[in-house]
Structure 1
């Protein structure tokens, strides 16, 4: 399975830095979900699959589990290694995970599963999980029930082309998956607070298909986003704003028997 061409937009140090600034963290309520639903604790081993720059890695480390990361994009993987030098960060893909059979208690895909939602990848995840191991899928999603967020989404979405995204729902087609339980799901409120440039403009810039545009097109998108900010009373002239998010979390359990 090759990596979708839109992911090439991530493979520069500058884009990796923008990703770190522009992407929200995850809500504290997710800590209990990692502990109670994914059963992560001291002594567990968990794979951060499609780990990117390591935005979710700290959450996994906080459980006490041993964390291994797999990320195919070099610039993203290098950023993760620079931040978490003690975490083993491997070059690999979801359909070719460089780990032994039944070696993991959990696999977590944070902001990534839509990139590789194929039967082959799910079978490979099942291979590396122990019987009873957990597959966790997590996404931070802008709350587009807020009118200005819906306007922002519409601005961004015009450039998406055929890029895999959570919002399309295509990733759900691999479930129910052989050897796994039905998906359980939970949702948590979240928000990203900071300057409009950081939490809105950099968030848009960190979108794969925006990062992959030609320079002139990226500048045009920047101008559109700045115009949106200037036209929105909740944002204009503000030194700090909060972008509302919902965090969606899903879990499937590997069967105890082959």
Structure 2
């Protein structure tokens, strides 16, 4: 149901607050272009060759690479950003790589767009759909993965903010979404018609008069975590009781 999303200017300025910063983006085509338009020096990576080709056509320096094994020398970037992609990476690998390529004082920046289920009509829609499927409209949108960043020894200090974002959804779009649900497709014709009628009534009751579409609420949640290189350079201390093997 959500349409393609571009981070608003205020979110970009919060994530990358200084002018003309050198930034690395981890996967995705929209963020590098938006940052370049803000005047930053942008390098992008993506595993998808087609995405990298499109970015190059747009004038972005882009490389086919994985976030867990960055092909860059240490201390190259002021910020490393991941929008809607951080949960795809292996935290034990990507966090040390992000720390390695950041300059002293640099920040790992993560943003996620998550539906806001606190709005009453959204709660009613979810409750009706979960009568059929307990897992309908569920998921943490990658929020759980952010905990790895906030708990990381490489990033001991962090800050966070959020922005409200509204996505218009029309009556036909909402009914089509409901009919596409696996649980709805498994109903007989009468029960499926009853479900669609219930959702249509919910939409009609919630839609403000004079407006063509309801607005589905989302929260754009953003985090900045500042790198500490001590953990990358600290000597390894062997416990007195540990096994020592001479080479």
- TM-score over 0.5 for the pair: yes
Larger radius of gyration: 2
Count of aligned residue pairs for this structure pair: 217
CA distance in structure 2 between the partners assigned to 1:230 and 1:78 by the alignment:
42
Give 3-state SS (helix, strand or coil) of 2:121's partner: helix
Hey, what does 1:212 align to over in structure 2?
A: none
Hey, what does 2:221 align to over in structure 1?
A: 248
Shift of 1:133: 1.1
Hey, what does 1:111 align to over in structure 2?
A: 84
- Bigger drift between 182-191 and 235-244 goes to 235-244
Give 3-state SS (helix, strand or coil) of 2:74's partner: coil
Hey, what does 1:166 align to over in structure 2?
A: 142
1:117-132 mapped onto 2 (5 Å cutoff): 117-132=90-105
Give the RMSD, CA atoms, in angstroms.
4.0
Which deviations, in whole Å up to 9, do the C-alpha atoms of 1:115-160 show, x marking residues without a partner?
1151211001111111211110111111110133345667598379
Hey, what does 2:151 align to over in structure 1?
A: 176
| TM-score calculated relative to the size of structure 1 | 0.66
Q: Which has the higher contact order (CA 8 A, sep 6+)?
A: 1
Give 3-state SS (helix, strand or coil) of 2:157's partner: coil
Are the counterparts in 1 of residues 115 and 217 from structure 2 also a CA contact under 8 Å?
Answer: yes
| TM-score calculated relative to the size of structure 2 | 0.69
The answer to whether the aligner puts 1:47 opposite 2:21 as a matched pair is no
CA distance in structure 2 between the partners assigned to 1:227 and 1:117 by the alignment:
43
Which deviations, in whole Å up to 9, do the C-alpha atoms of 1:65-122 show, x marking residues without a partner?
11112122455x268538x621123222221122222211110111111111512110
Q: Give 5+ residue unaligned stretches, structure 1.
A: 1-17, 206-214
CA distance in structure 1 between the partners assigned to 2:175 and 2:49 by the alignment:
24
